[in-house]
Amino acid sequence: MLKKHIPFFVIVCLLVCKVYPLAAQSKTITLGGKNGWSNLSVMDAVKFGTGRFGYESILLSNDEHRVTSETDLLISFEDGIIKDAAGNYSVEVNNLDISSKTIMGNSAGLSNGKEAGLRLRGSKKSIFGGAGLTGSFVIEFWLCPSIAESGEQFFNWRSSRSVASVPLYQDIRASFFNNQVEWVFNNIFGAGNKVEPEVIITSTDSIIPQKWAHHQIAYDDETGLIEYRIDGKIQSVRYVTSTKRESGEVFNARLGVPADIEICTKYSGLIDEIYISRTSKISTIHDFYNRKGGRFETQPLMSSGFNSNLTGLQAVYSTPKETDVAFYVRGGDNFYEWTDEYPEWVPVVPGTQIRGVSGKYFQLAGELYPDGKGGETPSVSEVVLTYTETTPPLPPATIKAYAGNGIVDLSWTSSVDFSVGGYIIYYGEHPGEYLGSVAVEGVSPVDVGNTLSYRLSGLKNGNIYYFAVAAYSSLDKRIVGVLSKEVYARPLRKVK
């Protein structure tokens, strides 16, 4: 007797095992890697670069300057464009080329030692385009000289002004001298009729050719302090006051006749991120990466259907010492209703199970954090999201149609799936086109609930109608399966 029951028991187990997995199948969405990152919607302080396995990866972008209310001039050379992003200066002469050998962003300026590299003309609202007091200012840029030969100039402004009816030549220039940087200010600073004829600021560190360095010179209009730094290190400090110390009457910077700024005059090498601001604030250390980090977000990613559940996240990423990456996900059925805060972003750890995130659409966000010195960046090369989809139930295997006077009675066999919540009838007057609208019970498709027979009335006698039935899931009515085979019937008024 036992031998007779074993085959039947095995068949039942196989059928049950085959049916239940249909309710939730595991699928994946791959971002990055071989697929690339074409589906990003937000890239804040991040960029594309090369990461693990040579894949296109997301990294922190360089901490480049951005235009603010204090910005007087900003030329970043990005995308091969040489113009003032602040809109205060126009390019009158340009003999610079564009180079990909950059320190910030993707482009830098290349000067070949010509007499005139770049000449800028300021508007009346700019520091060097107007006459009078300048207020506090910072001039900064990145330099990578080819030789650093004495006499090469990379900043020059020449003009004149009158003091007590006496014309004075004015000059602000920065150049190489004896393998160092020398800033000279002629007749720029003064108080009343008193003028400081010459202020010279010289670097203590020697300039190394073929090496990028960040130069900053700042003037504080309230204290008279001039401070020069290279790569955040103080090179020289000078008080432009009546006592040449912190105390005494402050000598303010005053410019005469508006004149052009000349950049890279007879200079041979690279230059990047030319920035002038109306402030005396100067950072002690220039970070390659913003210490606040950066963030990326994907577009809403469509799963295979409603009621899908996000279950896991795997990532290929790199985190050098002190750097970090944080991942966030969220989900929902209608992403048109989403805001920055809704649905709530859920933090996830790669390799752990995700709970409580479901819907037809998912979204991924990542936050990248540099090390404490702002010199190292993490990278994200690939992210794989795993989710389970609710498979739509199978359609009825058999469907029958019986016509009557303005009616059609439909009946069908039950779907073999256990997850059926009900059935939908599709009808129309052409094969495969279920656009019917005449039935009293409603336009196609008609939700008939969890029943195995149904009557459609109000149909026109003599017309032929085509029908199909689909089952929907008990978990969500929007999860509708494929259609059954098609049947047809022609309502007629029959002889009594």
Q: What pLDDT, on a 0 to 100 scale, did the predictor assign at position 495?
A: 67
Segment 80-88 long-range contacts (CB within 8 Å, at least 24 positions apart): 80/107, 82/109, 82/118, 84/120, 88/122, 88/123, 88/125, 88/126, 88/129
Query: According to CATH, where is 2.60.120.200 located in the chain?
Result: 71-277
Spell out the CATH class of 71-277. mainly beta
Distances (CA, A) of 179 to 151, 183, 308, 454: 10, 13, 66, 95
Please give the model's pTM, rounded to 2 decimal places: 0.61
Helix (H, G, I), strand (E, B) or coil at 11: helix
Q: Where are the beta strands (DSSP E) in 13-112?
A: 25-32, 40-44, 46-50, 56-60, 71-75, 89-94, 97-99, 108-112
CA angle 402, 405, 408 (to 5 degrees): 30
| Residue appearing with tokens 């890279």 | 264
CATH fold of 23-61+291-387: Jelly Rolls (2.60.120)
* CA 188 – CA 157 distance, rounded (Å): 11
50-81 burial: b if 16+ Cβ within 10 Å, else e = ebeeebbbbbbbbbebebeeebbbbbbbbeee
Q: Are 240 and 226 in contact (CB under 8 A)?
A: yes
Query: According to CATH, where is 2.60.40.10 located in the chain?
Result: 399-489
Q: Are 109 and 77 in contact (CB under 8 A)?
A: yes
Choices 3.40.190.10, 2.40.160.50, 3.40.50.300, 2.60.40.10: CATH for 399-489: 2.60.40.10
Tell me the two tokens of residue 423: 């059935």
Tens-digit pLDDT profile for the chain (496 aa)?
334 343 443 333 334 334 344 446 789 999 999 889 999 999 998 989 888 878 899 999 877 778 899 999 999 998 889 999 999 999 999 999 999 998 887 899 999 987 779 999 999 999 999 999 999 999 999 999 999 999 999 999 999 999 988 999 999 999 999 999 999 999 999 999 999 999 999 999 999 999 999 999 999 999 999 999 999 899 999 999 999 999 889 999 999 999 999 999 889 999 999 999 999 887 655 667 888 899 999 999 999 788 889 999 999 999 999 999 999 999 998 899 999 999 999 999 999 999 999 999 999 999 999 998 888 899 999 999 999 987 889 999 999 999 999 999 999 999 998 889 999 999 999 999 999 999 999 999 999 999 999 999 999 999 999 999 999 988 888 889 899 999 999 999 876 6
Distances (CA, A) of 263 to 45, 319, 427: 28, 39, 76
Q: Are 327 and 314 in contact (CB under 8 A)?
A: no
CA angle 433, 410, 455 (to 5 degrees): 100
Query: According to CATH, where is 2.60.120.1020 located in the chain?
Result: 23-61+291-387
* CA 368 – CA 47 distance, rounded (Å): 11
| Residue appearing with tokens 């950049």 | 263
